[in-house]
Amino acid sequence: MGVLNLTPDSFSDGGRFDAPDAALAHAARLTAEGADIIDIGGESTRPGATPVAPEAELERIIPALRRLAADGRCVSIDTRNASVMRAALESGAAIVNDVSALTHDPESFEAVRRSGAPVILMHMKGEPGTMNDDPRYDDVVSEVFDSLAEQAERFLAAGLLKSQIAVDPGFGFGKTHRHNLALLHNLDRLAGLGFPVCAGASRKLAAPTAAAGVRLAASTAAAVLAAQKGAAILRIHDIAETRVALRIAGFAMPRPRGD
């Protein structure tokens, strides 16, 4: 899953791809490098982020999303707002990726249920503005995994199909560095719940001020470990480098077009 942030303030690449031409060019680059899914988002949910109105979110994403869908790309919509989910799905998005696990907007669950689209339920402790101020857990692995299991079961009972649901432990969302590492090293326990696991540790396991090479090294190591621990989806900024790391680690992967 290649990351395409159409925002001015995302933690890693804010402002780089928010112009339509830049967004489409980056999506083409991600696809050429081997991305199977393009994850497009119009609201930054980094620590300390300011909420964005759904109307502004839609203005940012819909033109690029429609072009990508028309070109046959598999697009996921990274949003926590039901109106954005509905508009994005109507415009060709195939997957909903919600950092709040359908809890931020009371209409989100019904939007997903009615559409029949797959949804990635991510764990987040608190809200983006304050989630990393002082996150505490007695046992981060058990608490995050139990929370996701309970949410998934609740949504199944309310009408979602098991085949619609994937889960994400939410690296960096209300977690310290130590929490992130504990979740990564125990990701196989989350895979044991029986839902596909999405791992989004890309550029989150090194300090934001670290050199680009250090952040890339941490990201590729995390991706390989996540795959070894059973992750089905890797949400990645650096597709080409990650695919090389995965191949060397012994994972058989389809070759990108033109490679």
- Catalytically active residues are 204, 235
Instruction: Please check whether residue 10 is in contact with residue 47, taking contact to mean a CB–CB distance below 8 angstroms.
Output: no
Within 8 A by CB and 6+ apart from 72, the residues are: none
Buried b (16+ CB within 10 A) or exposed e, 200-229: bbbbbbbeeeeeeeebbbbbbbbbbbbbeb
Instruction: Please check whether residue 182 is in contact with residue 141, taking contact to mean a CB–CB distance below 8 angstroms.
Output: yes
Q: Which two tokens stand for residue 160?
A: 């979602």
Q: Which two tokens stand for residue 197?
A: 């696991």
Beta bridge pairs of residue 38: 2, 75
Beta bridge pairs of residue 147: none
Considering only the C-alpha atoms of the chain, give the largest distance between any 2 of them, rounded to a whole number of Å.
Answer: 49
Determine the residue type at 92: G
Coil, helix or strand for 198? strand
Calculate the dihedral angle through the C-alpha atoms of 17, 20, 22, 25, rounding to the nearest 10 degrees.
120
CA atoms within 13 A of residue 235's CA, in its CB half-sphere: 28
Beta bridge pairs of residue 217: none
From 50, 59, 102, 109, select the one nearest 79 (Cα to Cα).
Answer: 102
